[in-house]
Amino acid sequence: MERGLSKVLLCAVDALYKLDGTLVKELNTYLDNSEFGPYEHVSGAVYELLNLQKKARNRPKAASAFAQLEGLLGNFAAQYGLTLAAFLEWPLLMEMKGRRDQFSHPFDRAFLVRELEAQNPDLVLVENALRLLLREAS
């Protein structure tokens, strides 16, 4: 059975949860005059870069877009004394997030379905999204 994360890795993932929103806003502002973005999360930019890298092998247009985004992300990181490597580590951070999520508070499907059926006011704004996730029609 796989174990959860160490305390320091949990703290690293907590940083992702707490700080991704402000960092992605800064990144989107930085990319505002480019063809890239806006992104909802920093990982969106990273995964776009990685997808462009795969496509760049066979497609000149993708190679050009890859080089452009790679340069933009590298320059953004340089503002903080870092390199593109900071973005290239993001998939590992996302993997840690996935492991953290796997071992987080146990998912109680029956409770959530009951609360949806009871029309819990805390769930009203996301009721349909939850029903889709649960594949549970009203």
Is residue 60 located within the same domain as residue 123?
no
Is residue 80 located within the same domain as residue 91?
yes
Is residue 86 located within the same domain as residue 64?
yes
pLDDT at 1: 43
Is residue 16 located within the same domain as residue 48?
yes
Tell me 110's DSSP state: H
Is residue 123 located within the same domain as residue 99?
no
Query: Is the confidence at residue 105, as pLDDT, over 80?
Result: no
Give the range of the structural domain holding residue 21, as residue numbers without chain letter.
7-104
pLDDT at 108: 86
Distance CA 37, CA 66 (A): 14
pLDDT at 37: 98
Number of domains in the chain: 2
Distance CA 30, CA 38 (A): 10
